Amino acid sequence: MQVSVSVSEENAEQEPPAQQVSAFLERRREQVAQRWADAALFRTVFTVSRDEAVEAGRSVAAALAAVAAAGRLDDIRAPGFEAVRDQLGRMAASRGRMGIDTDGLADEVAALREPVTDLLRAEFPDPNAPEAQECVLALTVLMGTLRLVVLETTVSAGEEVIARQREQLHEVATPVIKLWESTVAVPLIGTLDSARSQTVMESLLDAIVAERARYAILDITGVPTVDSLVAQHLMKTVAAARLMGAECIVSGIRPAIAQTIVQLGIDLGTVLTRASLADALAYALSRQGVEIAPLRTDSAGVR
């Protein structure tokens, strides 16, 4: 009996700790999943049924076993994680919607380590043997990697959202409107940075070609502040429109902004300006020989 035990231990000793951890996770997958189902992370995400939580725990444990089997304990790009990356992302997103920030999430993932290391220690006749210590250490490293994977998934999901929203903002924020025959307008809303002013310039110039516009109105009513950089962007757009043969009018300059422009000493001398979009349109129309007049009263009487 003694002899047989020592032989099996010797066999185990020949295996590296990562392989032992992998075998342990495969063997005890059910118990690990059951314990994790009670942990805060799984319990709060899968509120409908405990079976669901256990099922999720099983797949995470299986993924960890695969990573350990490949011997890539501290590699967050290990192929084994791919299987659960989506699931972890959904869990993290669901926690995020409940108002848990990244710190809280990190703590919850860290809390998964305790139950599984306890189970691993119980596997060894002597938990303080160097061999057992090594296995526990390997498992700890693995759980640390899991924590990193979860956080990395969260961060990249956040980045995706930001990039998508930025793109939407660009599309939404720069419509070019045809106001009249040969007259187009861009109502600018929000802060003008370099990227946005580039988009504005491109769409305005394309619209000038498409509509065969002679007059282009840049309305800055929705621009909260005008500093020298914004003024420079505006002047560039005006210059580009002029090169295309269209006259550019900047409108919607609020009194406060007019004051700021004067105080900053920005020279908008080369740019035609009007107080409101209506004034700018009136200017464009009069230059084209179009006059808008109220209907005569006698013609109203005929109707």
Partner 1 sequence: MTGPSGSGPAGFGPPVAGPLGGHGFTVPVLRLGDILLVTLQGELHDGMAEQLQQDITDRIAHTRVTGVVIDISGVDVVDSFLGRVLAEIAAGAELLAARTVLAGMRPAVAITLVELGLTLPGLRTALDVERAMELLTAGERQGEGSP
Place of tokens 């392989």: 19
Task: Report the nearest approach of partner 1 to the CB of residue 279 (Å).
Answer: 22
Site map (CB under 8 A) of partner 1, residues 258-297, x = contact: ------------x---------------------------
CA distance linking residue 183 with residue 168, whole number of Å: 26
Residue 86 pairs with which residues in a beta bridge?
none
Closest CA to 140 of 115, 122, 123: 115
Task: Report the nearest approach of partner 1 to the CB of residue 243 (Å).
Answer: 4
Please identify which residue in 63, 65, 201, 248 interacts with partner 1, judged by CB under 8 A: 201
- Residue 289 φ/ψ region, left for φ over 0, alpha for ψ in the -120 to 50 degree band, beta for the rest: left
- Residue 206 touching partner 1 (CB under 8 A): yes
- Residue 214 touching partner 1 (CB under 8 A): yes
Task: Report the nearest approach of partner 1 to the CB of residue 264 (Å).
Answer: 21
Yes or no: say if 128 and 79 are a contact pair by the CB < 8 Å rule: no
Work out the end-to-end distance of the chain between its first and last CA atoms, rounded to an integer number of angstroms. Answer: 115
CA 239 to chain centre: 35
Task: Report the nearest approach of partner 1 to the CB of residue 252 (Å).
Answer: 22
Stretch touching partner 1 by CB under 8 A, among 12-20, 35-43, 133-141, 241-249:
241-249
- Residue 195 touching partner 1 (CB under 8 A): no
Place of tokens 């409940």: 98
Strands 247-251 and 215-222: parallel
Closest CA to 223 of 260, 261, 252: 252
Burial class (CB in 10 A: 0-12, 13-18, 19+), 183: buried
Residue 178 pairs with which residues in a beta bridge?
184
CA distance linking residue 126 with residue 108, whole number of Å: 29
- Residue 242 touching partner 1 (CB under 8 A): yes
CA distance linking residue 158 with residue 168, whole number of Å: 15
Task: Report the nearest approach of partner 1 to the CB of residue 266 (Å).
Answer: 16
Please identify which residue in 239, 264, 275, 278 interacts with partner 1, judged by CB under 8 A: 239
Task: Report the nearest approach of partner 1 to the CB of residue 220 (Å).
Answer: 18
Stretch touching partner 1 by CB under 8 A, among 103-111, 132-140, 206-214, 280-288:
206-214
Stretch touching partner 1 by CB under 8 A, among 7-15, 162-170, 239-247, 278-286:
239-247
Please identify which residue in 212, 222, 224, 275 interacts with partner 1, judged by CB under 8 A: 212
CA distance linking residue 162 with residue 29, whole number of Å: 37
Stretch touching partner 1 by CB under 8 A, among 55-63, 98-106, 166-174, 236-244:
236-244
Stretch touching partner 1 by CB under 8 A, among 12-20, 126-134, 168-176, 238-246:
238-246
Task: Report the nearest approach of partner 1 to the CB of residue 228 (Å).
Answer: 16
Yes or no: say if 241 and 277 are a contact pair by the CB < 8 Å rule: no
Task: Report the nearest approach of partner 1 to the CB of residue 280 (Å).
Answer: 19
Q: Name the site residues for partner 1 (rule: CB under 8 A).
A: 198, 201-202, 205-206, 208-209, 212-214, 236, 239-246, 270
